[in-house]
Amino acid sequence: MNSFQFDWQAAFASIPYLLKGVPYTLMISFGGLAIGFLIGIIFGLMRISPTAWLRVPAIAYIEVFRGTPVLVQVLFIFYGLPQLIGGPIDALTAGIAAIAVNSGAYISEVVRGGVQSIERGQREAGVSLGLTRTQTFRYIIWPQGFRRMIPALGNQAIISIKDTSLFAVIGVGELVRQGQIYIATTFNALEVYLMVALMYLAITLTLSVLLRLLERKGLVGQ
């Protein structure tokens, strides 16, 4: 049809430039996920509390941040929040915050599911031995629940890593943004976006392998 030739030279030439975006992608992903995990533990446990004033805010939080697009969330944080607080928020912080609140909502549900999946008899055995509810949770329910959460947490990590690609729109110099800048001068869209895609794949595949190892280790004694 046309005489298009895939330009390997151009593809490879873009790599050093794209690699500059990787630390940002990783920082936003894992910074956001770390905070998201903390949020997930807190809100996930609030979500299963018998006390309504703990449970209701958790449900509201989960529904709001799971029910709105992460792109809208980051735009809101980056462009909207500064109007509210009267000062700018840098793009990296906005990206981390968006991943944190977004993944936090999903992880809350993962935590809830993991904790609720532990048989009632485990809690009964713990409290029957005289352990407090907190001790029973800490030594018996959580360690078992956490192991069951690992696959779902890994899944969420992979989703969040890919979500950071949307943050090119706020100008944070992550992978996609670096690709766009590079393409603006060389016009090798096909080659460069392929390289960008491969870099995401390299990150997510590495994570998949690590998770599989962790799962295998975590399942010992189950």
Residues binding other proteins (CB under 8 A): 119, 121-122, 124-132, 135, 139-140, 143-144, 147, 220-222
**Beta carbon nearer to other proteins, 16 or 130:** 130
Greatest C-alpha distance within the chain: 78
Q: How near is the Cβ of 126 to other proteins at its closest, in Å?
A: 8
Q: How near is the Cβ of 138 to other proteins at its closest, in Å?
A: 9
Q: How near is the Cβ of 117 to other proteins at its closest, in Å?
A: 13
Amino acid at 64: V
Whole-angstrom distance, CA of residue 195 vs CA of residue 93: 26
**Beta carbon nearer to other proteins, 87 or 221:** 221
**Beta carbon nearer to other proteins, 122 or 204:** 122
Whole-angstrom distance, CA of residue 47 vs CA of residue 39: 12
Neighbours of 18 (CB within 10 A): 19
Q: How near is the Cβ of 101 to other proteins at its closest, in Å?
A: 31
Q: How near is the Cβ of 218 to other proteins at its closest, in Å?
A: 9
**Beta carbon nearer to other proteins, 112 or 147:** 147
**Beta carbon nearer to other proteins, 63 or 119:** 119
